[in-house]
């Protein structure tokens, strides 16, 4: 369908007006607003999706990355898909990268591809964001075939205006988890003492052992705020409750070195992108491929690696206790440990640091997308530009550029 329209209308579409100019004039003429990303958010999108934002692609996301004001809906563009969470968006992109690699696309990592449009659910359009020309490529899912389209990103976006009539879609897409102000979540022994109920103040509770460790060694742990925990639940599509919530609150980012001899996923030096892809890869290759999804109900979270054993928490909405399973990478077997998360963590302390000796602190991060320090400093002095500050032509000037019926036909 799209190729036929290209042949028929390409000459008219490419008449010197960029997509952004057409968009700006459309917004003025129809008294609508687009919603984009500010410069810091764009830097975070680059980090999360491992892409490069520049040229027309960057300008589009800056002005209309979340919503185009109705000139384009979510029917074609993945940016606006109301059914795609940031996690689903990321996994969708990673799945396609893996697929392109399997069918022989070279330099897949260096190309930093981004799929931005889907037609009829089986045809995907993408750009190589590492390239400066932003040529559009087309992937046929049914045939595992990739071909170059005779357009760049700006030309393709102009074409969509002709294909899809303006609408009143109010769907606002989002490529990022919600930004939460970095709160001071350093946890002292006194904070833990105030937090724990009396029935949990004993050596059979991991958080209590953490308090004793911090007290003995003059250290602090680092947790997540309740707002951050809610966003982690949404972003990773899991449930954090009971003993696991206690852990995230009191030691989600760091236990102060208590279990530094163990390879806890929470504290690994991973980016948010790497955390999501790690959990997804485990689900795909270990649970789904081996048909173990009947044993792991609803949600799970891998939290510890011990050589070939991967330990995960099984999380069910209506089951109070959180049980730990182990998955053997060599035998591909899933085993119920018989221990709850709290019991497992207490046992881990007894086995690896029974005397609560001071260890080197490791700090992890599961929700805050870090950008380079030099970039952060640079952004402090930059004017953060969003759609509300974007200047558009006055109405009289805009009317000169509004698409006429002749141009559309």
pLDDT of residue 401 exceeding 80, the answer is no
Instruction: Looking at the structure, tell me whether residues 212 and 235 fall in a common domain.
Output: yes
Domain contains 320: yes
pLDDT tens for residues 291-300?
887 888 677 8
Number of domains in the chain: 2
> Where residue 182 falls among pLDDT bands split at 50, 70, 90?
low
Instruction: Looking at the structure, tell me whether residues 169 and 190 fall in a common domain.
Output: no
pLDDT of residue 233 exceeding 70, the answer is yes
Query: What are the b/e assignments for 232-250, b being 16+ CB within 10 Å?
Result: bbebbebbbbbbbbbbbbb
Domain contains 314: yes
Structure tokens at 181: 């102000």
Domain contains 399: no
User: Which pLDDT value is given to residue 201?
Assistant: 97
**Which residue is listed with tokens 């087309």?**
138
Instruction: Looking at the structure, tell me whether residues 96 and 143 fall in a common domain.
Output: yes
**Which residue is listed with tokens 């640091």?**
353
CATH code for the domain in which residue 129 is found = 3.40.1580.10
Task: Give the neighbor-by-neighbor strand order of the sheet with 145-152.
Answer: 113-119, 123-128, 135-140, 145-152
Domain contains 207: yes
User: Which pLDDT value is given to residue 54?
Assistant: 94
Instruction: Looking at the structure, tell me whether residues 202 and 333 fall in a common domain.
Output: yes
Instruction: Looking at the structure, tell me whether residues 196 and 83 fall in a common domain.
Output: no
Mean pLDDT comparison of 28-37, 66-75, 186-195, highest-scoring range? 186-195
The answer to whether the beta carbons of residues 344 and 338 sit under 8 Å apart is no
Instruction: Looking at the structure, tell me whether residues 248 and 281 fall in a common domain.
Output: yes
Q: What number is the average pLDDT over the span 204-232? A: 97
User: Which pLDDT value is given to residue 143?
Assistant: 87
Domain contains 382: no
Q: What number is the average pLDDT over the span 107-113? A: 83
User: Which pLDDT value is given to residue 17?
Assistant: 78
Structure tokens at 212: 């004793």
Instruction: Looking at the structure, tell me whether residues 42 and 100 fall in a common domain.
Output: yes
pLDDT of residue 177 exceeding 90, the answer is yes
Instruction: Report d(CA 176, CA 404) in Å as an integer.
Output: 36
Q: What number is the average pLDDT over the span 66-72? A: 88
Instruction: Report d(CA 58, CA 195) in Å as an integer.
Output: 46
Q: What number is the average pLDDT over the span 162-185? A: 76
Domain contains 257: yes
Q: Domain range spanning residue 154?
A: 2-176+404-408
The residue among 100, 117, 114 whose CA lies nearest residue 155 is 117
Domain contains 308: yes
Q: What number is the average pLDDT over the span 274-281? A: 94
Instruction: Looking at the structure, tell me whether residues 330 and 270 fall in a common domain.
Output: yes
The answer to whether the beta carbons of residues 359 and 257 sit under 8 Å apart is yes
Domain contains 38: yes
pLDDT tens for residues 239-258?
999 999 999 999 999 999 99
Instruction: Looking at the structure, tell me whether residues 275 and 328 fall in a common domain.
Output: yes
Instruction: Looking at the structure, tell me whether residues 15 and 100 fall in a common domain.
Output: yes
């Amino acid at each position: 369908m799209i190729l036929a329209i290209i042949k028929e209308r390409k000459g008219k579409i490419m008449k010197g007006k960029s997509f952004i100019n057409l968009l700006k004039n459309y917004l003025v003429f129809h008294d609508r607003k687009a919603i984009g990303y500010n410069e810091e958010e764009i830097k975070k999108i680059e980090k999360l999706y491992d892409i490069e934002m520049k040229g027309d692609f960057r300008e589009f996301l800056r002005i209309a990355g979340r919503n185009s004001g109705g000139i384009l809906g979510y029917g074609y563009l993945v940016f606006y898909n109301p059914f795609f969470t940031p996690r689903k968006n990321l996994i969708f992109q990673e799945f396609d990268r893996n697929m392109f690699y399997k069918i022989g696309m070279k330099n897949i990592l260096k190309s930093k591809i981004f799929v931005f449009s889907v037609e009829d659910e089986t045809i995907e359009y993408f750009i190589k964001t590492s390239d400066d020309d932003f040529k559009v490529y087309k992937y046929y899912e049914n045939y595992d075939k990739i071909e170059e389209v005779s357009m760049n990103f700006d030309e393709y976006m102009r074409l969509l205006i002709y294909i899809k009539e303006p609408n009143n879609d109010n769907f606002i897409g989002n490529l990022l988890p919600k930004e939460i102000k970095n709160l001071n979540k350093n946890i002292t022994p006194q904070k833990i003492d105030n937090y724990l109920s009396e029935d949990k103040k004993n050596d059979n509770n991991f958080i209590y052992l953490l308090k004793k460790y911090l007290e003995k060694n003059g250290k602090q742990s680092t947790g997540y705020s309740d707002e951050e925990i809610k966003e982690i639940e949404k972003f990773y599509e899991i449930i954090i409750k009971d003993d696991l919530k206690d852990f995230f609150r009191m030691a989600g980012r760091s236990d102060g070195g208590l279990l530094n001899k163990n390879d806890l996923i929470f504290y690994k030096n991973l980016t948010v992108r790497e955390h999501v892809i790690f959990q997804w890869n485990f689900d795909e290759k270990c649970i789904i491929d081996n048909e173990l999804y009947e044993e792991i109900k609803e949600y799970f979270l891998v939290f510890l690696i011990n050589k070939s054993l991967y330990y995960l928490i099984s999380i069910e909405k209506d089951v109070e206790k959180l049980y730990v399973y182990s998955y053997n990478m060599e035998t591909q077997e899933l085993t119920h440990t018989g221990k709850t998360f709290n019991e497992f963590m207490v046992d881990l302390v007894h086995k690896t640091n029974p005397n609560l000796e001071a260890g080197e602190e490791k700090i992890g991060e599961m929700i805050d997308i870090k950008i380079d320090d030099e970039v952060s400093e640079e952004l402090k002095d930059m004017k953060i530009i969003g759609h509300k500050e974007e200047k558009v032509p006055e109405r009289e000037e805009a009317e000169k550029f509004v698409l006429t019926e002749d141009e559309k036909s």
